[in-house]
DNA sequence: TCTGGGGTCCTAGGACCC
DNA sequence: TCTGGGGTCCTAGGACCC
């Protein structure tokens, strides 16, 4: 059974009203005033409302029209400057990497840090000082953006900690006190419990996490399904040992667009599909990846939404193929009444094997995110262990920080790869990787922990 | 002027294979 | 000649998150 850590060593950072905060930083006249960032057209929604705008009831995901109704004259409605947000985000993530090599960025304004992989005093006092210092460094490095920090014995506890004390928050949940914090909270405050699950739980009298704790696993599974039910059962007991995983590989790439007025013209729809396919493919190619499944998303005038997909024999990353497949999928859909949104996506991604990184004869295969188990039988004689140091001429120095049957995970760090990417290699035949490959030199310190 | 855009994970049924 | 399992892949939809 999975558990939790015996120390509060997972940190969660959430930047406060991030997009609005960057706008207020860059435009002093907006400071102290309500600011709403999001779509400004007729069908726009709010991405972020500053705390001043929240005081009037503006919220993320609300239609911008509704936010305009609620906010006073003088409220700034802005379309957003994503390049600025992205740069600021990187500045923040760099600060987090000062704390530990294990930083998992979950979005532009949110990340987890595994403090156990760094050299830190994990006492409550030490963690409080660490968090206070981190917040100050973020504020300085970004020119005034605040973040809320939660620290706990798991990702869930850390996230709940940052949530409970925002904005500009700092909350350490000491190991052992998880249930005291958790049980009074409404179930809706658990990550993963949204409107649908919240309603179902409420219908059977479950309102707080404490209520949840009293329900049997069988009841919860019957109520919300196998995976979710099991997840809730464990969450109520603070059982969460999900690791902090840096550099997660993307599993799909997509682009979609909502039109100011519904489309009906077939030629126009085909042009839009081509445009969306171009955007998706440009990103695929930039990432050096391709995918086998092409999906068309389709939203009608009445907001009914459907998807049609087709899986191809080979991964594709060219605009012509993607848009041809998507256009073919469009043909099977009833378009009467008009089309509100179109989307094109590619999934089932397989990273290219980059031939120049390894000599052909000894090339470990880059794993797909999905298939670490199959097609990679355990090596007969060779293994690596966490902490062992290895290196590659093209990738820089690195160390093994995870290994298992048939695979080895290496974090590289060096001048060529500043952030230190993590790569997992399958070893499907021990003979493919010689005992002492000449270009795997031993350098660099193994990670602490 | 109702309801964005980018994702992840799960479920369920049917096809197909052993 | 009657009744199976299990496993994987594919498709479609839904919940949820930021």
Number of C-beta neighbours around residue A394 at 10 A: 14
- Closest residue to C11 (CA, C1′): A309
Q: Which residue is nearest to nucleotide B2 (CA to C1')?
A: A63
For B1, which residue's CA is nearest its C1'?
A42
The CA-atom distances, in angstroms, between A50 and each of A41, A75, A88, A164, A437 are 19, 10, 17, 18, 55
Protein CB footprint (7 Å) on chain B nucleotides = 1-12
Supply the pLDDT for residue A357.
35
* Protein-to-nucleotide distance from the CA of A195 to the C1' of C16, whole angstroms: 9
Q: Which nucleotide is nearest to A347 (CA to C1')?
A: B7
What tokens appear for A294 in the block? 């092409």
Q: How far is the CA of A323 from the C1' of C3 (A)?
A: 46
Q: Of the listed A7, A23, A52, A110, which one is catalytic? A: A110
How far is A183 from A166, CA to CA, in rounded Å?
19
Rounded Cα distance, A148 and A111, in Å: 11
How far: A66 CA to B1 C1' (Å)? 9
Query: Which nucleotide is closest to the Cα of A64 by its C1'?
Result: B1
Measure, in angstroms, how far nucleotide B13 C1' is from residue A341 CA.
28
Is A110 noted as a catalytic residue in this protein? yes
Residues within a 7 A CB radius of strand C: A 61, 106-110, 159, 190-198, 292-293, 305-311, 348, 371, 374
Instruction: Give per-residue burial for A17-52: e unless 16+ CB within 10 Å, then b.
Output: bbbbbbbbbeeeebeebbbbbbbeeeebbbbbbbeb
pLDDT tens digit string along A69-106?
999 999 999 999 999 999 999 999 999 999 999 999 99
- Chain C nucleotides close to protein (CB under 7 A) are 8-18
* d(CA A247, C1' B9) / Å: 18
* Nearest nucleotide relative to A46: CA against C1': B4
Report the distance from CA of residue A331 to the C1' of nucleotide B16 in Å, as an integer: 27
Nearest nucleotide (CA of A193 to C1'): C16
Q: Which residue is nearest to nucleotide B11 (CA to C1')?
A: A225
pLDDT value of position A131: 98
CA closest to C17 C1', residue? A192
Q: How far is the CA of A224 from the C1' of B12 (A)?
A: 14
Whose CB is within 7 A of strand B?
A: A 39, 41-45, 47, 60-61, 63, 65, 68, 107, 225-228, 250-258, 279, 283, 302-303, 340-341, 343, 345, 347
State the pLDDT at residue A2: 67
Query: Do residues A73 and A33 lie in contact, with contact meaning Cβ atoms separated by under 8 Å?
Result: no
SS3 string, chain A, reads: CCCCCCCCCEEEEEECCHHHHHHHHHCHHHCCCCEEEECCCCCCEEEEECHHHHCCCCCCCCEHHHHHHHCCCCCEEECCCHHHHHHHHHHHHHHHHCCCCCEEEEECCEEEEEHHHCCCCCCHHHHHHHHHHHHHHHHHHHCCCCEEEEEECCHHHHHHHHHHCCCCCEEECCCCCHHHHHCCCEHHHCCCCCHHHHHHHHHCCCCEHHHHHCCCHHHHHHHHCHHHHHHHHHHHCCCCCCCCCCCCCCCEEEEEEEEEEEECCHHHHHHHHHHHHHHHHHHHHHHCEEEEEEEEEEEECCCCEEEEEEEEEEEECCHHHHHHHHHHHHHCCCCCCCEEEEEEEEEEEEECCCHHHCCHHHCCEECCCCCCCCCCCCCCCCCCCCCCEEEECCCEEEEEEEEECCEEEEEEEECCECCCCEEEEECCCHHHCCCCCCCCCCCCCCCCC
Could you state, in chain order, the average pLDDT of each consecutive group of 10 residues for chain A (449 residues)?
87 98 98 97 96 97 96 97 97 98 97 97 98 98 98 98 98 98 98 97 97 97 95 97 95 98 97 98 96 98 97 96 98 96 97 46 39 33 39 40 40 35 41 33 33
Give the model's pLDDT for residue A1. Answer: 54
* A60 nearest nucleotide via C1' and CA: C18
Distance, CA of A277 to CA of A343 (rounded, Å): 9
In this complex, the residue with its CA at the shortest distance from the C1' of nucleotide B8 is: A251
Task: Give me the residues paired with residue A389 across strands.
Answer: A399
Shortest-distance nucleotide from A159 CA to C1': C17
User: CA–C1' distance A375–C4 (Å)?
Assistant: 28
Give the nucleotide with minimal C1' distance to the Cα of A292: C10
């Amino acid at each position: 059974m999975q558990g939790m850590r015996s120390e509060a060593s997972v940190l969660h950072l959430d930047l406060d009203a991030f997009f609005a905060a960057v706008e207020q930083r860059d435009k002093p006249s907006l400071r102290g005033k309500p600011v709403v960032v999001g779509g400004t057209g007729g069908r726009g929604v709010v991405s972020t409302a500053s705390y001043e705008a929240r005081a009037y009831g503006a919220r993320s995901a609300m239609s911008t029209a509704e936010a305009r109704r609620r906010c006073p004259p003088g409220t700034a409605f802005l379309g957003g400057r994503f390049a600025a947000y992205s740069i600021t985000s990187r500045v923040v993530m760099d600060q987090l990497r000062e704390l530990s090599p294990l930083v998992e960025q979950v979005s532009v304004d949110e990340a987890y840090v595994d403090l156990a992989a760094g050299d830190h005093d994990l006492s409550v006092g030490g963690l409080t000082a660490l968090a206070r210092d981190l917040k100050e460094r973020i504020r300085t490095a970004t020119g005034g953006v605040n973040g809320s920090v939660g620290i706990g014995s798991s990702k869930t506890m850390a996230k709940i900690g940052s949530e409970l004390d925002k904005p500009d928050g700092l909350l350490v949940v000491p190991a052992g006190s998880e249930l005291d914090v958790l049980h009074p909270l409404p179930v809706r405050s658990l990550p993963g419990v949204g409107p649908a699950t919240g309603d179902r739980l409420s219908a059977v009298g479950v309102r707080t996490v404490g209520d949840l704790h009293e329900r049997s696993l069988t009841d919860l599974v019957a109520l919300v399904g196998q995976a979710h039910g099991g997840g809730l059962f464990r969450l109520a007991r603070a059982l969460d040992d999900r690791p902090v995983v840096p550099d997660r590989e993307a599993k799909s790439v997509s682009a979609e667009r909502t039109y100011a007025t519904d489309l009906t013209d077939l030629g126009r729809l085909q042009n839009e599909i081509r445009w969306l396919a171009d955007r998706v493919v440009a990103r695929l190619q930039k990432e050096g990846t391709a995918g086998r499944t092409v999906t068309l998303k389709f939203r009608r005038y009445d907001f009914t939404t459907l998807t049609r997909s087709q899986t191809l024999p080979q991964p594709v990353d060219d605009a012509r193929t993607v848009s041809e497949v998507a256009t073919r999928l469009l043909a099977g859909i009833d378009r009467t009444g008009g089309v509100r949104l179109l989307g094109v996506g590619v999934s089932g991604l397989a990273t290219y094997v980059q031939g120049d990184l390894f000599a052909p004869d000894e090339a470990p295969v880059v794993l797909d995110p999905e298939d670490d188990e199959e097609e990679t039988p355990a090596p007969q004689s060779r293994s690596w262990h966490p902490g062992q140091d290895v290196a590659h001429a093209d990738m820089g120095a690195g160390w093994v920080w995870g290994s298992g049957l048939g695979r080895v995970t290496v974090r590289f760090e060096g001048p060529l790869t500043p952030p230190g990417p993590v790569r997992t290699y399958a070893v499907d035949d021990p003979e493919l990787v010689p005992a002492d490959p000449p270009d795997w030199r031993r350098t660099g310190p193994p990670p602490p922990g």
